[in-house]
Structure 1
Amino acid sequence: MMISVLIVEDDPMVAELNRLYTEKIDGFHVIKIVNNGRDAIDFLSNHSVHLVLLDVFMPHMQGLAVLKKIKSSFSDVNVIMITANRASLDIKTALNHGVIDYIVKPFTFERFQSTLLAFSQRYKILHSEEELTQSALDKIISIDIPKLQSQHPKGINEQTLLTIKKLIKDFTHTFTVAEIADISGLSRISLKKYLDYLENQGELESELLYSTMGRPAKLYKISN
């Protein structure tokens, strides 16, 4: 089943970008683009729509007013806010009125895609005619829990960090950057940055090994 999407956005370039992003994802189809809230409500009154991508600042009817109207009159319609509005009170209002997500412009395709794929999974589970198992319910609940953005500093990639953690978790002895580089395929410069980051986080300890020649070598070990 295709998920029908209504885009409500008064900036033509942003609206087209939202359409392109949406239709790059399997299972989604943009049924209509409108540039104001009043036309959005009129369209929803006469067409079946599963998901609305909704801006906040628009003519004729602001996005939060549209959201409230959707939730009062079209309870089966899901809404994702896509806006430059960062006001905490407005974000709180949107969340209290049941938006699936609140995406701040500008955003990446990856961020947009993750939300739509999560929504697709949730939608399929909830519209299944089978009884839901606990694992299926857990998937729905995990989709609804807001995902915290990575708190790592610039230059620290979450996936790379997880890979390095897996490589070193079974080390019972000290190790050097060179040893991990040999088994990971990552550069020594990049690895040192990640190992030093893990040390700063308290997950690793280090000591310097001095020799009669050259610079001292830094030895790492898993913190106790």
Structure 2
Amino acid sequence: MINVLVIEDDPMVSKLNQSYVNEVEGFRLAGAAYTYAEAAALLEQQKVDLILLDIYIGAKNGLDLLKNLRTEQNWNGDAILITAASDVQSVQTAMRHGAVDYIMKPFDFPRFQQALLSYKEKHILFQAHDTLDQKKLDERFFALKESAQIELPKGLSTNTLRTIVKTIESLPESAFSSEHVAEKSSISTVSVRKYLKFLAEAGVLGERVTYGSVGRPLHLYVIRKENLLLIDHLL
């Protein structure tokens, strides 16, 4: 089992991350830390293979914790960043300190699961071999694979896609519904839903479900601007 420590100062987000860990086979929740000091103490007390780390931990910086673990405590585990920080410097610093993945909030379970399963594959590989040859390294880590270009599904048009993307980018709200986009773009809600589904499957939109006062679930989307390049050829 891969022992995981969740380091997150928001109790609700921490509980969500903990529940996600328990849903992925091969991983065991070793504990949760809500402060910089708790995280350092827990890592001294028990074996942790992987930490899920937020950059913002109260007034402290999670990247500083990661740096100290590497340089001062000689911790040789791995880290996946789960954070709202989207600036290039944070991403680069995380990678330089050995982060194996970087998940931006808000995120959905499939993205979380993908990160853990990818990590598990590499973890198993390292545990099973004392040495690795070039073929294994290329197959698992360094091979340059030509990614398939995302295509627009039959029945959807590039002109309508452009209109919807521009509408989404102009919205002042960070989270929005299909009805909201339909109203602002003057495109039918039924059509908008098809395009939002495509954008979500392409990784351009994240999805979240919230509950109103009467308990009815509301399906909302959040744009991942850094992933717009995935559909740049369609725009």
Task: Tell me the TM-score normalised to structure 2 length.
Answer: 0.60
For 1:41-60, what aligned pairs fall within 5 Å after superposition? Answer: 41-59=40-58
| Secondary structure of the structure 1 residue equivalent to 2:99 | coil
Structure showing greater Rg: 1
Q: Does the CA-based 8 Å contact 1:38-1:61 persist in structure 2?
A: no
Instruction: Supply the distance in 2 between the matched residues of 1:63 and 1:87 (Cα, whole angstroms).
Output: 15
Q: Does the CA-based 8 Å contact 1:36-1:60 persist in structure 2?
A: no
1:128 equivalent in alignment to 2:91: no
The 1:61–1:192 alpha-carbon spacing in structure 2 relative to 1, beyond 3 Å, is closer
Query: What corresponds to 2:10 in structure 1?
Result: 11
Q: 1:168-198: CA deviations, max 9, x gaps?
A: xxxxxxxxxxxxxxxxxxxxxx52448x89x
For 1:134-213, what aligned pairs fall within 5 Å after superposition? Answer: 134-142=134-142, 152=150, 156=152, 190-193=153-156
For 1:112-123, what aligned pairs fall within 5 Å after superposition? Answer: 112-123=112-123
Q: 1:89-138: CA deviations, max 9, x gaps?
A: 12211111110111100011111111111100101111114543433222
Partner AA of 2:86 in structure 1: R
Cα distance, 1:56 vs structure 2: 1.0
| Secondary structure of the structure 1 residue equivalent to 2:60 | coil
The 1:148–1:70 alpha-carbon spacing in structure 2 relative to 1, beyond 3 Å, is farther
Instruction: Supply the distance in 1 between the matched residues of 2:116 and 2:33 (Cα, whole angstroms).
Output: 20
| Secondary structure of the structure 2 residue equivalent to 1:127 | helix
Where does structure 2 lack aligned partners over 5 or more consecutive residues? 160-235
| Secondary structure of the structure 2 residue equivalent to 1:53 | strand
What percentage of residue pairs aligned between the two structures are identical? 33
Partner AA of 1:69 in structure 2: N
Query: What corresponds to 1:67 in structure 2?
Result: 66
Q: Does the CA-based 8 Å contact 1:37-1:60 persist in structure 2?
A: no
| Secondary structure of the structure 1 residue equivalent to 2:56 | coil
| Secondary structure of the structure 1 residue equivalent to 2:91 | helix
Instruction: Supply the distance in 2 between the matched residues of 1:67 and 1:193 (Cα, whole angstroms).
Output: 45
Q: CA RMSD in A?
A: 2.9
Cα distance, 1:140 vs structure 2: 3.5
The 1:42–1:148 alpha-carbon spacing in structure 2 relative to 1, beyond 3 Å, is farther
| Secondary structure of the structure 2 residue equivalent to 1:191 | coil
| Secondary structure of the structure 2 residue equivalent to 1:82 | strand
Task: Tell me the TM-score normalised to structure 1 length.
Answer: 0.62
| Secondary structure of the structure 2 residue equivalent to 1:68 | helix
